[in-house]
Structure 1
């Protein structure tokens, strides 16, 4: 009998307690990041940062996160995942408090680089996200991961939407505050969320790691063969992801800055647009979760993104902010709503004992090109072109739409899964992954 969907009361209660707590923790974190996604680059602009300097800062955050995430994923497979989330939230508390009380340039650079401020990470725990994602995957039966990960993504988008609404409000709640001082409530809000999440993670129980048992030579050879198949799948996924990630990084992190330069709008106009985007994306993420059960993960990832490419290339040619915002909302919905399906696909390529590594490699393949993208996009915008970044981004994302089903179609765990068989665990039985 099929399990109830997680977005029903019965389905939610059927999830394990650690899974529910991890999902709620990420939802709260998404609220804080949603506010930062809109306001942080605008805050830097008020402090006198140019587009190229903002892009370089976002690049630094992406590069640091990409390299650290690889280490976190590998180590978390051996020592557990909870410790890394505790480190993340503690560091976030310290860094945000320093910005509030001592907002010098080096504090801003260090904290933003460590914790990805302004990158719109959809509630992920920055470079520690591989440990978090592997922990969540471990807490969910493999046959339910497509639906539950899409539900988790939907909640993240709704959290980002709430944060985007707050981004339009927070800079105006301190009477008489102007310039950088008006953004102080933004960082106070992030600090409060980090404290709440630290308290939540402290009470989440992590299942004990399975002891490593002695294995015969035949078992070692079989394990080596499966691992080679997993590595091959992960290598191809890394290559394909890097194409898409560079396309996303060229434009997405700098959009609030671009909207401000192109149309002269600020947080009051941009915040509600981002909020609407995230709320609608959350709804469509649930639709994609259902779709992945019927048509497979590959199709549910690729089909919406075809429309996304067309919408992306049209945005910079729009004459008004209103029209450009409508296209941005539509494009974000069709692109981002497949995030849960992409996460479920990546963790389904390997066995549980390697999911931290798989998640970290997936994060790095996204993080490295996405880190270079804002620096390149910022340089182009500073050079006077507000159109070229969109054209380059659309070309790269079109390449992803072609490459992903062509190369990764053979690894779709939902394509050939037999009824009642755990999708994500077939690697252990010799699936080509």
Structure 2
């Protein structure tokens, strides 16, 4: 059986269609802005005099608000469509960035950062509106192609994050004579520009009726009520189990990842000029890893392509806090990211394969909530450890939680893996 062309070839890209192309392009541009935020935002807050606890609480607030909003967005978008929510996101982000640029009061920064998840390394996602975005993208792609297309999408967003991370090294130096928090003004100008471009992109495309996207996935609409109830129960059970294992994973990641630039600064005394290039290299290589994992997932399956890299990532995570220099710690961080984050696309494709199209907004939102809530608690706990002078324990606890995820995910979710038609 001949397989569809890879999305990262010219033929494969054109075969995706306008909607998928625009959504992927919008996420790529958004990831550039978020890559700069991932490096500079916590350092910006530090320049304003915020402690590690203050920063951790703000990141926690962003996670909690994102969890509540994403659940609402996912459920409602299944009923009224997905395009509206992405337009609201880009308009809101534009207004928030403009407000910070014009009047950077603490309450404006807190509200905007909490709603849009600043500094959390969202990899180009539309924050709490991501369930609508992912469901719309999945709707426009046939099921057998989702593993490769979502991995391609993840690869592009990592490259965008890499570009943004490199920009983060120079943005605080672009205004001559600016010091402290004022030097970070270009960071918010970059995010405003990307929001305006993406607003135009989303506005230019139209959402097709969901029942017209892939008829094979809409066949259940003619099923009898008993069979429909049985399908619902199976989907709900799968989503519940996925939420349980996601909660463990997200808590482990939230303890360390959002505060890592702050941790590097405290541990080794480095700033944006040193951290930015490390993040840039990390995201570029992770993008390549995502493409490779996307291709490999077609032959070995999504679950194994998720679990194997993450097991190695656990080992590398434990070693980072014990390294004697920033260079060695940065190398471990880069390698860990390559093997760990490269499976993001495969994880997204797996979670969306658990339900039919008409429930994908709900599935994506539940997935986001199971991620956002525990990930929101993580920075507050990690910030408390850092503030107490403990720079090792957040990594140890995070590694233990992520090891639990590696064990539980294949054990619990293997029964729900959908084999590609090209698989043996």
> Can you list the C-alpha shifts for 1:334-354, whole angstroms capped at 9, x where unaligned?
110000000000000000100
Per the TM alignment, residue 56 of structure 1 is displaced from its structure 2 partner at its CA by: 0.2
Q: Does 2:16 align with 1:15?
A: yes
> Can you list the C-alpha shifts for 1:101-143, whole angstroms capped at 9, x where unaligned?
1111100100000000100100000000000000000010111
Q: Distance in 2 between matches of 1:420 and 1:412?
A: 12
Q: Which residue is equivalent to 2:261?
A: 256
Q: Distance in 1 between matches of 2:315 and 2:394?
A: 14
Q: Distance in 2 between matches of 1:420 and 1:394?
A: 33
With the length of structure 1 as denominator, give the TM-score of the two structures.
0.95
Secondary structure at the residue paired with 1:3?
coil
Q: Which residue is equivalent to 1:158?
A: 159
Q: Which residue is equivalent to 1:357?
A: 362
Q: Which residue is equivalent to 2:215?
A: none
> Can you list the C-alpha shifts for 1:349-383, whole angstroms capped at 9, x where unaligned?
00010000000000111000000000000001101
Q: Distance in 1 between matches of 2:115 and 2:80?
A: 22
Q: Which residue is equivalent to 2:302?
A: 297
Per the TM alignment, residue 220 of structure 1 is displaced from its structure 2 partner at its CA by: 1.3
Q: Does 2:270 align with 1:280?
A: no
Q: Distance in 2 between matches of 1:163 and 1:214?
A: 43
Per the TM alignment, residue 66 of structure 1 is displaced from its structure 2 partner at its CA by: 0.7
Secondary structure at the residue paired with 2:224?
helix
Q: Does 2:408 align with 1:403?
A: yes
Map 1:102-251 onto structure 2 (within 5 A): 102-210=103-211, 219-251=224-256
Q: Distance in 2 between matches of 1:271 and 1:290?
A: 29
Q: Which residue is equivalent to 1:431?
A: none
Per the TM alignment, residue 67 of structure 1 is displaced from its structure 2 partner at its CA by: 1.1
CA gap 1:14/1:392 in 2 versus in 1, 3 angstroms: same
Q: Distance in 1 between matches of 2:232 and 2:267?
A: 50
Q: Distance in 1 between matches of 2:55 and 2:379?
A: 8
Q: Which residue is equivalent to 2:343?
A: 338
Q: Distance in 1 between matches of 2:413 and 2:144?
A: 19
Is residue 220–residue 228 contact of structure 2 (8 Å, CA) maintained in 1?
Answer: no
Map 1:377-396 onto structure 2 (within 5 A): 377-396=382-401
Per the TM alignment, residue 213 of structure 1 is displaced from its structure 2 partner at its CA by: 12
Q: Which residue is equivalent to 2:60?
A: 59
Q: Distance in 2 between matches of 1:175 and 1:141?
A: 51
Q: Which residue is equivalent to 1:98?
A: 99
**Counterpart among 310, 313, 320 of residue 325 in structure 2:** 320
> Can you list the C-alpha shifts for 1:10-35, whole angstroms capped at 9, x where unaligned?
11011111000100000000000000
Q: Distance in 2 between matches of 1:214 and 1:325?
A: 50
Q: Distance in 2 between matches of 1:80 and 1:310?
A: 42
CA gap 1:215/1:209 in 2 versus in 1, 3 angstroms: closer
Q: List gaps (5 residues or longer) in structure 1.
A: 422-433
With the length of structure 2 as denominator, give the TM-score of the two structures.
0.97
Q: Which residue is equivalent to 2:274?
A: 269
Per the TM alignment, residue 221 of structure 1 is displaced from its structure 2 partner at its CA by: 1.2
Q: Which residue is equivalent to 2:76?
A: 75
Q: Which residue is equivalent to 2:313?
A: 308
Secondary structure at the residue paired with 2:377?
helix
The size of the alignment, in residue pairs, is 418
Q: Distance in 1 between matches of 2:332 and 2:196?
A: 37
Per the TM alignment, residue 205 of structure 1 is displaced from its structure 2 partner at its CA by: 1.4
Q: Distance in 2 between matches of 1:29 and 1:186?
A: 13
Q: Distance in 2 between matches of 1:237 and 1:319?
A: 38
Q: Distance in 1 between matches of 2:317 and 2:328?
A: 13
Q: Does 2:378 align with 1:373?
A: yes
Per the TM alignment, residue 210 of structure 1 is displaced from its structure 2 partner at its CA by: 3.7
Q: Distance in 1 between matches of 2:25 and 2:69?
A: 24
Per the TM alignment, residue 204 of structure 1 is displaced from its structure 2 partner at its CA by: 1.1
